[in-house]
Amino acid sequence: MAEIPTDFDSELMRRQAELLNEEADRAVIMTMILAGVTGLVIGGLAFDFFAGRNELIAVLVAVGIPALAAVFGGVLGESRGLKARAQAQQLLVLNAIESHTRRAAARGTHASESATH
């Protein structure tokens, strides 16, 4: 059986949390951009479709679809960002628990050594 590594690396956990927070920030922006571009393409196609029928509807569709797509992208991006931020927070909490546990264990070891000598 493979041995599971048990060494604790607080710096690694901290860096991973930073990466997750950066990913969360990018998720909102990138999802909004991708959804907005998709909305522009769909809006442009809809504009071509409606342009010969009703100019007002064509303009409203050409503006409304990209705007709605960007808002939808923002909501999806926020959701993805929230998940990444929650994972980062979990790592930071685990890091804090581990460091407190190690310090408490070290104090307990020092106290028991002093008591036996």
| Interval 15-37: pLDDT, tens | 999 999 999 989 888 998 999 89
2 phi, psi to nearest 5 deg:
-75, 140
Tell me what percent of the chain is helix, strand and coil, each rounded to the nearest 5: 90, 0, 10
Task: Please identify every stretch of the chain with a pLDDT value under 70, giving residue numbers as ranges.
Answer: 1-6, 109-117
pTM: 0.65
Give pLDDT, residue 117: 56
- What lies within 8 Å, CB to CB, of 63 at 6+ separation is 43
